[in-house]
Amino acid sequence: ASRGGGRCPIVQVGYRAATGLAPHLKRTGGASSVKAMLLEWCRARTRGYQHVDIQNFSGSWGSGLAFCALIHSFFPDAFDYGSLEPHDRRHNFALAFATAEERADCAPLLEVEDMLRLTVPDAKCIYTYVQELYRSLVAKGLVKTKKR
């Protein structure tokens, strides 16, 4: 985890995402099945995006392009994904986080500087952010969920 006073370590302690992704995603099997479902959702949403191959909640997110692809899949008019470069991490993270906050009302739980400091992103931070993004998209009606 980052030590620079960034948002994510605080989030892990008591943010609402820690109390559950979204009630409708709770299935038998607990947190690990929710995590697997969320990872599969990310894979499905970003399939076909160049330079994105989501295998986990850490290294797969290191260039910032996975965030950009995930957000672009919901807001294709927000930016030109094809113009993004994997090496321009600062731009990619900043673009993704700002677009998620502006378009999806997603809380800015991650900071660009913290992401740049880490060679391999912290899995708990990424997972928490993706949970919050998912929750925000559900709240906006952009993710269809199965009601029980």
pLDDT of residue 14: 38
Distance between CA atoms of residues 148 and 134, nearest Å: 18
pLDDT, tens digit, 9 for 90 and up, residues 47-67? 999 999 999 999 999 999 999
pLDDT of residue 5: 46
> How many structural domains compose the chain?
1
Domain-located, residue 110 = yes
pLDDT of residue 32: 81
Domain-located, residue 97 = yes
Domain-located, residue 65 = yes
Question: Which residues 6+ apart lie within 8 Å of 134 measured at CB?
Answer: 21, 22, 38, 41, 143
pLDDT classification of 7: cutoffs 50, 70, 90: low
pLDDT, tens digit, 9 for 90 and up, residues 31-48? 788 999 999 999 999 999
pLDDT exceeds 80 at position 129: yes
Domain-located, residue 98 = yes
Domain-located, residue 123 = yes
Q: Domain containing 39: what range?
A: 31-140
Per 3-state DSSP, what percentage of the chain is helix, strand, and coil (rounded to 5)?
60, 0, 40
Q: What is the mean pLDDT of the chain?
A: 85
Q: Residue 102 is part of a domain; what is its CATH number?
A: 1.10.418.10
Domain-located, residue 18 = no
φ, ψ of residue 38 in degrees (nearest 5)? -65, -40
Domain-located, residue 146 = no
